[in-house]
Amino acid sequence: MDCKIVTIPGDGIGPEIVREACKVLDRVGEVYGHKFNYTEILMGGCSIDAYGVPLTEEALNTAKQSDAVLLGAVGGNVGNSRWYDVAPNLRPEAGLLAIRKGLNLFANIRPAYLYKELAEACPLKKEIIGDGFDMVIMRELTGGLYFGERHTEEVDGCLQATDTLTYNEKEIRRIAVKAFDIAMKRRKSVISVDKANVLDSSRLWRKVVEEVAKDYPEVTLSHMLVDNCAMQLVMNPGQFDVILTENMFGDILSDEASMITGSIGMLSSASLNETKFGLYEPSHGSAPDIAGKDIANPIATILSAAMMLRYSFDLDEEADAIEKAVQKVLTDGYRTADIMADGCKKVGTTEMGDLVAENI
């Protein structure tokens, strides 16, 4: 198979981890007889530095013409940063928002599971972890507060800022369908998360999700309020199989969910549209503080490449091979700094990539 992949190394540790993922993909290509052709584009802070904007039209078009996109990370120092007072469309993350919208990537799949080998790093107690947990957050990615009309105006001498949260039936239906489809391949349970006791958009959300559920009689659907879900994730993560939620709630809950695994450096994600096309990226950020030191964990990106093979190229066997190789490397006791534990062998970014590739 010939695969046209656009890579977006991005900022911070992005270039290092994408390099390792491509190394693993190339090894898969050798073993299974595929050809992965990469075209690199700039996005985020590096694009701002080069072109003054976080994503050029040309870069977006290049991405559109590919079969799939592999992304490292963009932005950095955002929490306390020089970026927030910059015009929103000139911030590095604006590139990410633009590519999501531009490629219509409405379905963001974020798996969060506990690696038995890494259970030590999990912040939750053994009693809470129980038999472990393995959930997928299906986050709507092109609607809601992220893409609603927004403006800041002066009213009676006082600045006032407004953001808008809008969802229509179609947008809710298509993401719900994706969630139920995934649930069918898993433990057949969907928990839809909203704030239906307050928001109109959440009440429409519930209504449509319940309609979609009728087409999946085997799947159990329940609803949970977002505040309760934030509690339940900490108290009883094992109850979740597929969480279906809107954009902003998904942003918050998926970060919480990934943190309770204790291995955010291990978690992949996929953002899909209605076709086979997808953008694949680690769940973690650009970690500018450790960039260029060859210590970042490339596994999340490597596993994102596996998701790419599975969802965009239907190469299930090859995806399995990557996942098994990662598992093998962990079992053999190799760890990057973020997941290092007593008795394990510490390796850097490059070495971790080599090890996974060798195990394909």
Minimum distance from CB of 239 to a copy of itself (Å)?
13
259 lines the binding site for a copy of itself (CB under 8 A): yes
**Which residues inside 302-341 make contact with a copy of itself, applying CB under 8 A?**
none
Among a copy of itself, ligand IPM, none, the one that 125 touches (CB under a kind-dependent 5 to 8 A) is: a copy of itself
- Interface characters, 112-151, with a copy of itself (x: CB under 8 A): ----------xxxx--x----------------xx-x-xx
Is 79 annotated among the ligand-binding residues? Answer: no
Name the residue whose CB lies closest to ligand IPM.
Answer: 93
Cα angle 331-332-335, degrees, rounded to a multiple of 5:
85
96 lines the binding site for ligand IPM (CB under 6 A): yes
Is 293 annotated among the ligand-binding residues? Answer: yes
**Residues binding a copy of itself: number (CB under 8 A):** 72
Residues 6+ apart with CB under 8 A from 8: 14, 18, 40, 41, 42, 43, 44, 63, 69, 70, 71, 72, 74, 99
Is 296 annotated among the ligand-binding residues? Answer: yes
Distance of alpha carbon 71 from alpha carbon 69, whole angstroms:
6
Among ligand IPM, a copy of itself, none, the one that 339 touches (CB under a kind-dependent 5 to 8 A) is: none
251 lines the binding site for a copy of itself (CB under 8 A): yes
Half-sphere exposure of 161 (CA within 13 A, CB side): 1
Give the residue with the Cβ less far from ligand IPM, 75 or 353.
75
Phi-psi region of 174 (alpha: psi -120 to 50; beta: other; left: phi over 0): alpha
| DSSP state, residue 42 | -
Q: Specify the 3-state DSSP secondary structure of 75.
A: coil
Selected from 201, 245, 268, 304, the binder of a copy of itself by CB under 8 A is: 201
Among the candidate windows 42-50, 51-59, 256-264, 315-323, which touches a copy of itself by CB under 8 A? Answer: 256-264
| DSSP state, residue 120 | G
Residues 6+ apart with CB under 8 A from 326: 299, 302, 303, 356
Q: Which residues of 318-357 are buried (b: 16+ CB within 10 A; e: fewer)?
A: bbebbbebbeebbeeebbbebbeeeebeebbbebbbbbbb
Is 183 annotated among the ligand-binding residues? Answer: no
89 lines the binding site for a copy of itself (CB under 8 A): no
Is 107 annotated among the ligand-binding residues? Answer: no
Give the residue with the Cβ less far from a copy of itself, 168 or 275.
168
Q: At what angle do helices 299-311 and 14-32 cross, to 10 degrees?
A: 50
Catalytic residues: 146, 195, 227, 251, 255
Minimum distance from CB of 280 to ligand IPM (Å)?
13
Q: Is 129 exposed, middle or buried (0-12, 13-18, 19+ CB in 10 A)?
A: middle
Strand partners, 151: 162
37 lines the binding site for a copy of itself (CB under 8 A): no
Selected from 11, 16, 20, 93, the binder of ligand IPM by CB under 6 A is: 93
Q: Which residues of 23-32 are buried (b: 16+ CB within 10 A; e: fewer)?
A: bbbbbbbeee
Among the candidate windows 2-10, 91-99, 202-210, 332-340, which touches ligand IPM by CB under 6 A? Answer: 91-99
Give the residue with the Cβ less far from ligand IPM, 54 or 353.
54
Question: Helices in 169-315 by DSSP H: which ranges?
Answer: 169-184, 200-213, 226-235, 247-261, 299-311
Q: Binding site for Mg(2+): what residues are annotated?
A: 227, 251, 255
Q: Applying CB under 6 A, which residues contact ligand IPM?
A: 75, 93, 96-97, 197-198, 227, 251
Binding site as annotated, residues for NAD(+): 285-297
Question: Binding site, residues?
Answer: 100, 110, 139, 227, 251, 255, 285-297
